[in-house]
Amino acid sequence: MADVLYVSDLDGTLLQNDATLSRRACALLTELLDSGAPFTVASARSIGSMYHILRDLDLPLPVIEFNGAFLSNLATGEHLRVNDLQPPVLTSVYEAITDHGHTPFISTFDGRRDRLYAPPVSHEGMQWYVDDRLAVGDRRLQQVDDVSVGLSEQVVCLTVIDRRENLAPLAAQLATFDGAIDISFWDNSYSPGWYWISIHDGRATKDRAIRSLAEYIGLGDAEIVAFGDQVNDVTMIDAAHRGVAVANAVPEVRAVADEIIGPNTDDSVPRYIQADWQRRR
């Protein structure tokens, strides 16, 4: 049994700046997986978003999606564990969003399939998200007049998109929910100038997810080596036995990392894993 578990973030860490997996990275990871290296990914993305990026990899281990809301089988889409927003908190968060004049995208699971309820778009930032989902044929996408129809299902993420100054008051109010929810407030580098607030259940964090994953696959005593670049990776990098930041990581990630390697554009993560795995064999 392996004595290590490698877990990498996707955007800005494993992927290139155009959100693709390079040919070299794909070849390195395929070689590692074929040799038995325990590798998987932890992302804010959904399976619907990450599958087309990782489809050339045969990942035997579950993936962490929505920052830990789901532990899932990438090939089948089956959710092995679900951390959804609980009804009382969900209602309060939804009301806070609408009181600030925003309408969220709502990502859900109804026990059989995933859905992404998209409201009528009111600006280019929202349109980018819809177009991005349409471009990859995301079967979750449901364009509806009233996204509240999704509130009766298991809600795993609420996503609000707008300019930073328009979202800041909402972000400040959401911060008062303490540990009941987990919030990411970030600049979407693929859609410059548009900021996102992603809201998950308080249990849906990458640090909890990697521990849950290790226990689920029988590697509870293994060394967890985690890679990341953004604020939503801080808890995972800090909680891992060995937290590794790419050179392009934000200061918050670099501050808690045990090691800093090259940038994402140099395929630094798969190269690091290859060297580490070879030393162990």
pLDDT tens digits along 160-214: 999 999 999 999 999 999 899 999 999 998 999 999 999 999 999 999 999 999 9
Tokens matching residue 8: 């990498």
Q: Which domain holds residue 197?
A: 87-201
pLDDT for 1: 54
Q: What is the CATH number of the domain that holds 231?
A: 3.40.50.1000
Instruction: Evaluate if residue 246 carries a pLDDT over 60.
Output: yes
pTM: 0.89
User: Final residue of a domain: which of 179, 201, 223?
Assistant: 201
Residue 269: what residue type?
V
Instruction: Evaluate if residue 248 carries a pLDDT over 70.
Output: yes
pLDDT for 281: 81
Q: Is the separation of the CB atoms in 8 and 39 below 8 Å?
A: yes
Number of domains within the chain:
2
Q: Is the separation of the CB atoms in 93 and 158 below 8 Å?
A: yes
Same domain, 195 and 209: no
User: Final residue of a domain: which of 201, 227, 252?
Assistant: 201
Residues 6+ positions from 233 with CB-CB distance below 8 Å: 9, 13, 206, 226, 249, 253
Same domain, 216 and 167: no
User: Final residue of a domain: which of 172, 201, 230?
Assistant: 201
**Angular region, 199: left φ>0, alpha ψ -120 to 50, beta rest:** beta
Q: What is the CATH number of the domain that holds 186?
A: 3.30.1240.10
pLDDT tens digits along 36-52: 999 999 999 999 889 99
Tell me the helix, strand and coil percentages in the chain, rounded to 5: 40, 25, 35
